[in-house]
Structure 1
Amino acid sequence: MQKTPLPSASLSSNTPMMKQYLTIKHQHLDTLLFYRMGDFYEVFFDDAKKASRLLGISLTARGKASGSPIPMAGVPYHAVDNYLIKLVNLGESVAICEQIGDPATSKGPVERKVVRIITPGTITDEALLNDRKENIVACVFQQDNIFGYATLDIASGEFLICELNSSEAFESELHRTSPVELLHPEQWDNSQIIANRKGLRACPPWEFDLATATKLLNRQFKTNNLTGFGVDNAKIALIAAGCLMQYINDTQLVALPHIHNIKLTSQDNCIILDAATRRNLELTQNIAGGFDNTLISVLDHTSTPMGSRLLQRWIHQPSRDHQLITGRFNAIGSFITAQNIEPLQEQLKLVGDIERILARIALRSARPRDFSKLRNALGLLPEFHQLLAENTDSARLNQLDQDLASYPQLFELLTQAVVEVPPTLIRDGGVIAPGYNEELDHWRDLSQGATDYLNQLEIRERESTGLSSLKVGYNRVHGFFIEISKAQAVDAPAHYIRRQTLKNNERFIVAELKEHEDKVLQSKSKALAIEKALSQLTYLQLTSSAISQIDVLTNLAERALANNYHCPTLHNGIGVSFKESRHPVVEHVMSAPFISNPVELSNERQMLIITGPNMG
């Protein structure tokens, strides 16, 4: 599709609204701009053509630019999530431009600005995410033969960096992390490694600078230096992290308090699996790209989405740390011995996705039901502590029990402040429980009484003016108004101030109505401010991590019992010795009994070709 040059915002032929649109659009040339107009998000020019093609929506026109009709398309604001899902899945980014001014007081177009930019790797909305899959944005920077690689899951706040000594090692790490967006330098010599990937973002060379990166990261973590994170020597990885941090700042447009740490990882601590090995082992995805007959399909009976994501991380990055592995084995054995797997899993099913809820709270994008889910999860913590009291023989579970902590004051606050079943969206109102805030109750009563007030005002004004067509109304765009037919509008009283002209009617405002409108709008803004004040909850991330690990460990204990798995013994030598071993996936696929196999591999015998009843 041929692109049409975007007109200048300064063209005299542009309407005030179109000048505003073009001014904002020129700041987001590579992003679809969803421009809020009343109950719709509108797109214009080439954005409209693209949106029409990708979303299957009607392409119309509005006005003219340089003598040609301006292409236009739009989607209802209340259904925007459905369209955003489609665009994000296609690798598109969308800038959301909202009305932030008051239509009642605006001269010319209502003030608007971009409040968030949605990209495939930076989404946190529950409706846009796959809850069982990590959503990672990454950045790579190469200097000589060293690859600096940074990854961020903005929905959890986990920020990781590593340095890799070969293109093969980088390719392996890229395949393991599978970022949905990847930032890379322009004119990169090794760009063939990432060819044909979705979500590629080429960044200019000045965004890859160590001094700038260090400054950005210190500002994010509120530190004077990065020494405490143990990353000072990973300079190439830090350059990648700085570019990534700048991208996150540019797209999120808000503070990111849940991103408060950066960790340096090393492939030395895990078993390295190259891309071909991961693909052929079908760990979390089969050869056809599906879920069936994979290792994760057998092992993942977790109770929470965050537990499922953690299990996949463990599978894709198998540890070589004997102490860590032994700690997990002991925890699994403790659950089997204590026989408390089922009651723990029943409680875990009630928790929800706290990890991503906390991220949305930190980003000020949480919805009312996020707060009620968090409250319900906090209410379960005493039960978790009681159940884990039976697992004192596991040092790992004892530590997780401590990490769970307890938040009685926060639980009480959320219980008192948030209604039992809140609405889906804050704009629907009714989120804060009655009796929690006296001032809010006052303004809410006023707002809910608006209909009675308007009915009384309509009767009074109709009688005083003698205008039979007079009506008093309200809409979200223009606020409160008095509407009179055009035939009778010439007889409107002198103190009526014209607000809007329609095809068959004129709309006016009077001082009393404006005063009431100010009070009602103030009541809504005050309610919103109080609801947003509940967003200081990022210290709960440690609790979220503990719940995820408990979920994975109870899940593995249940799988061990159900599938008759046995705990292996570790050693530091070379080789493995399996007695009556079974393939965990093949035995689930076969209708006939699986014939177990002994396997002995050592330094002297490093490969076996196995044939027999399970072959094929």
Structure 2
Amino acid sequence: MMQQYLRLKAQHPDTLLFYRMGDFYELFFEDAEKAARLLDITLTTRGQSNGEPIRMAGVPFHAVEQYLARLVKLGESVVIAEQIGEPGATKGPMERAVSRIVTPGTLTDAALLDDRRDSLLLAASLHRGTLGLAWLNLANGDLRLMECPAEALQAQFERLRPAEVLVPDGLLLPLIEALSPALRRLADWQFDAETGIRLLTGHFATRDLAGFGVEGLPVALSAAAALYDYARATQQQSLAHVTGLVVERESEYLRLDAATRRNLELTETLRGEAAPTLLSLLDTCITSMGSRWLRHALHHPLRDRAVPASRHEAVAELVGDGDGRTASAVRTALRGVADVDRITARIALRSARPRDLSALRESLSRLPELGSLLHGTRAALMVDLLRALDIAPDALALLQAAIATEPAAMIRDGGVIAPGYDAELDELRGIQSNCGEFLLALEARERERSGIANLKVEFNKVHGFYIEVSRANADRVPDDYRRRQTLKNAERYITPELKAFEDKALSASERALSREKLLYDGILDELAAHIPALQRIARALATLDGLAAFSEAALRYGYVQPAFVIRPGIRIDGGRHAVVERQVDNFIRNDAHLAATRRMLMITGPNMGGKSTFMRQVALICLLAHVGSFVPADAAEIGPLDAIFTRIGASDDLASGRSTFMVEMTEAAAILHGATEHSLVLMDEIGRGTSTFDGLALAFSIARHLLEKNRSLTLFATHYFELTRLNADYPECANVHLDAVEHGHRIVFLHALEEGPASQSYGIEVAALAGIPAPVIRDAKRRLRALENREIGAGPQADLFATLPEPEAEPLSHPVLTALADIDPDALSPREALERLYALKRLAD
């Protein structure tokens, strides 16, 4: 047995081997130690190998999926070796063979997958500065390729978020190591373009790949070679549900670099949490397919505005006149729909379980209702969805006829095939269910025939069926009785009729289960012919669910349909930040106007005044429009856009040895090199990571470069008030500010955008709100007055405060002063003020 294990382990040295032994999956040697540590299971020893105890650990077969899920989340891969053949059929240990290989990027089992997130296997290849990517969603058969510049690596990984990455052994890119949760290195020769062409043409049964548009993509094809071969090996079979190949181009989508995706908090907060984000707000999808569609859409805003415009039209139909009756009815009908997308993949891979098929049956039975709700629709996209849903009647008829209403969880448990589907199976089941009736009838006949009143017909697992007669009546039994067992007070017999029934009954259960397995395999074969149709249905259901979620947001939060216009610029009336407005009581709406003659808004105002929120809301409104959603505004017109860039926030990158300022400048450099006149650029507090004069100089030059060279639509927030003078030389740079007022000793943020520069930043007041000690605040105010009065000379910046006199000594503590400091005069009634005055007089005395 150990020789068999070691042979299998030698074929898969880098993965954990789950070796089936009876009711357990066992792991041995180093695998056992690793599994015991990762899964917190018992490590034991048994026997010896080469004079050393054999370390082993195991998990029960019925709970294996939960252990696999934990290992996959930790980035581990697992090989499953199952017993094959029948026990006792051959001499020696039972033969075992690899049935499947479970890796983070090749999951298809529902128990192992996050049902609201795609799990992608990605292969990357690099040649002369060109990055070739190929990725596969094995859970639905979606295969895609692309080539891009090597410097786009981080942006693409942030967009795709692969679960597992394959790279050539000789590719040394530290960034890939940092970005990949599960990295697997393969031999360099597996990344070969000619091999990729051969594998893919063989799979699609085509002479070449011209129809897929992959000409001139040798680096991507080399990645595809490794990807396809690896995926096929893990499944131990062909990938029948991979029915197409899509080539993506960078120009298809609005460019969002890694920093922008993080800063806009599309699907993850800056703290790495799932909420509150744009996705967590919008994802009211009924199905898991819809949630995955929505997540993908948010990360893939389209440049071709015809597609999002068609989605706007569809959402408008679902919203109707504002009553949302169509949307509500569609969402209600979707409640009975399962994950058709992933069930279809499991059918193709022959891993679909009985309840997958019953769920598919219930889902397909909902299509007529959904079709009737969409009947008469005028939106072109809705017409396409309606057409896609009006298919697969043969698949539904097969499932209704073949699968039991409530099938068992596993085919090995029986009770999966519906009564009436197969005559032979019905007969075998009849034998099992009629066993009791037959025995009672036989007992009655034999009592009458023999005249023995206490004769019994019974069964036990050791001796099978028998007729029991008391010892006193043994001489009265008929001649065809054959003695089977002698007891102290009774004799047990078998008759030819009972023996024939026994043979039939005892084998009926095994034969029925074997027959069910055979029929089930046949059903999977028949369903395999419907895979393309089922995939179209799944895509249509996912899209419809996502559009219904957009309509729900529009109805619930008062979103409006945006308009795409030809002229360059952005005009938003009454815009809101989709996420922030749900977190506060009274969100202040703001307009945003950018145009060819107003390309930059120089935004000033106090800390906490809302500058960053305003900039982000403009970006999110533009992104939502290009995704196909309605937007949080009173009205919105969006001109041509090709990218959204953001330079917001400050954090260092210790893993890469980059300081906060270095990260800031790297992101700024990417914007200056990549932004065009059709790009939306968000610049927040650029230059604050270094000395004041250096920062001001950089901020000024960066702003001027954006105005002169990039000519981008730019929101530029700053505390350098010197930058507000830019509009004297550049009329297309408009000054705006978010205002605040002082009320008593407090500052009130108005969060309203006004034309013109801000009068002051209120930084010291914000520091006081944050709890900075009062002496520090008083000293800061004194030094601020000195700076504003030009009381310091123009020397090196390091000596900025050197000429200031020492701060005055703190006044002596006195009870009256302490009591006065605690009084808020605006909060006192006249009577309370009089009482406090008398109290102060007593303290003074």
**TM-score band w.r.t. shorter chain:** 0.7 to 0.9
Whole-angstrom distance in 2 between the partners of 1:94 and 1:342: 44
1:347–1:380 Cα contact (<8 Å) kept: yes
Give the counterpart letter for 2:360 in structure 1: L
| Counterpart selection for 1:394 from 379, 382, 392 | 379
Counterpart CA distance in 2 for 1:91 and 1:364 is: 25
Q: Structure 2: which 5+ runs fail to align?
A: 437-457, 469-482, 489-500, 601-713, 718-736, 740-749, 753-765, 767-845
Contact 1:367 1:425 in 2 (8 A): yes
Distance 1:456 1:202, change over 3 A: closer
1:594 aligned partner? 587
- Give how far 1:441 is off: 2.3
Aligned partner of 2:310: which letter? G
Cα pair distance change 1:450/1:528, threshold 3 Å: farther
Per-residue CA distance 1:549-586 (angstroms, 9 max, x = gap): 11111111121111111111112333211111000001
**Does residue 1:572 correspond to 2:680, yes or no?**
no
- Report the TM-score, using the length of structure 1 for normalisation: 0.86
Please state how far the C-alpha of 1:390 moved relative to its aligned partner: 3.9
Structure 2 counterpart of 1:318, from 301, 304, 308: 301
Confirm whether residue 375 of structure 1 aligns to residue 361 of structure 2.
yes
Residue 210 of structure 2 aligns with an amino acid whose one-letter code is T
Q: CA deviation at 1:233?
A: 2.1
Q: Are 2:227 and 1:244 aligned?
A: yes
Question: Is residue 441 from structure 1 mapped to residue 447 from structure 2 by the alignment?
Answer: no
Candidates 69, 74, 79, aligned match of 1:95: 79
The within-5 A match list for 1:19-34 is: 19-34=3-18
Q: How far does the alpha carbon of each residue in 1:144-188 deviate from its partner, in whole angstroms, 9 at most, with x for none? A: 011000111111111111100232x22201111000100011121
**TM superposition score normalised by structure 2:** 0.63
Q: Whole-Å Cα distance in 1 between the matches of residues 84 and 459 of structure 2?
A: 27
**Cα distance, 1:517 vs structure 2:** 7.5
**Superposition pairs of residues 107-506 of structure 1, within 5 angstroms:** 107-167=91-151, 169-195=152-178, 197-337=180-320, 339-391=325-377, 393-445=378-430, 455=461, 457-458=463-464, 464=484
Deviation for aligned residue 1:125: 0.8
Q: Are 2:515 and 1:526 equivalent residues in the alignment? A: yes
| 1:611 match | 738
CA offset digits 1:95-152 (Å, max 9, x no partner): 1111111103121111110100011111111111111111111010011011000111
How many angstroms apart in 1 are the aligned matches of 2:549 and 2:252?
A: 24
Distance 1:515 1:388, change over 3 A: closer
In 2, distance between residues paired with 1:213 and 1:355?
26
- Distance in 2 of aligned mates of 1:237 and 1:398: 35
3-state DSSP of counterpart to 1:579:
strand
Amino acid across the alignment from 1:59: L
Q: Looking at both structures, which has the greater relative contact order when contacts are Cα pairs under 8 Å and sequence separation is at least 6?
A: 1
Please tell me the residue identity of whatever aligns with 1:367.
R
Q: Give the SS at the match of 1:74.
A: strand
Structure 1 unaligned regions, length at least 5: 1-16, 469-511
CA contact (8 A) 1:136 1:151 kept: yes
Kindly provide the CA deviation profile for residues 216-266 of structure 1, in whole angstroms up to 9, marking residues without a partner as x.
112222222211111122221111111100000110102221101111011
In 1, distance between residues paired with 2:44 and 2:503? 36
Name the CA distance, whole Å, in 1 between partners of 2:370 and 2:122: 35
Could you say what secondary structure the match of 2:568 adopts? coil
For each residue in 1:12-57, what CA deviation from the matched residue of structure 2 results, as whole angstroms up to 9, or x when unmatched? xxxxx11111111111111111111111111111111111111111
CA RMSD in angstroms comes to: 2.5
Q: Report SS of the residue matched to 2:240.
A: coil
> In 1, are the aligned partners of 2:411 and 2:516 still within 8 Å (CA)?
no
**Rounded Cα–Cα distance in structure 1 between residues aligned with 2:218 and 2:502:** 62
Q: 1:461 to 1:154 in 2, by over 3 A?
A: farther
Alignment-derived partner of residue 491 in structure 1: none
SS of equivalent to 2:256: coil
How far apart, in 2, do the equivalents of 1:258 and 1:570 lie? Answer: 37
Question: Would the aligned equivalents of 1:382 and 1:406 in 2 still touch at CA under 8 Å?
Answer: no
Q: Distance in 2 between matches of 1:528 and 1:614?
A: 67
Match of 1:319, SS? coil
Moved more, 100-109 or 457-466: 457-466
Task: Tell me the amino acid that sits aligned with residue 516 of structure 2.
Answer: A
C-alpha contact 2:432 2:505 (8 A) present in aligned 1: no
Structure 1 residues 312 and 20, CA gap change in structure 2 (3 angstroms): same
Aligned to 1:582: 576
CA shift, 1:448, in A, is 6.8
Q: Deviations over 1:45-88 (max 9, x none)?
A: 11111111111110111211011110011111011111111101
Instruction: Report Cα offsets for 1:329-358 as digits up to 9, x if no partner.
Output: 111111122730101000112111110111
Match of 2:92, as an amino acid?
G
Distance 1:447 1:217 in 2: 50
- Letter of the 2:225 counterpart: G
C-alpha deviations, 1:419-464, integer Å up to 9, x for none?
Answer: 1111211211100011111122234455678998764834659964
Q: Is the 8 A contact 2:569 2:595 kept in 1?
A: yes
2:88 aligns to what? 104
| Percent pairwise identity | 40
Based on CA coordinates, which of the two structures has the bigger radius of gyration? 2
Query: For residues 50 and 579 of structure 1, do their structure 2 counterparts lie closer, same or farther at Cα, with a shift above 3 Å needed?
Result: same
| Contact map agreement 2:344 2:535 (CA 8 A) in 1 | yes
Distance 2:75 2:112 in 1: 13
- 1:323 & 1:402 partners in 2: Cα distance? 20
The residue type paired with residue 602 of structure 1 is A
Q: Is 2:318–2:327's contact at 8 Å kept on the other side of the alignment?
A: yes
Q: Kindly report structure 1 stretches of 4+ aligned residues shifted beyond 6 Å.
A: 447-453, 512-519
Deviation at residue 529 of structure 1 after TM alignment: 2.0
Matches within 5 A, 1:507-526: 521-526=510-515
Give secondary structure in 2 for the equivalent of 1:340: helix
Q: Give CA deviations for 1:384-439 in whole Å, capped at 9, x if unaligned.
A: 11100142x20111111101123333222211211111121121110001111112
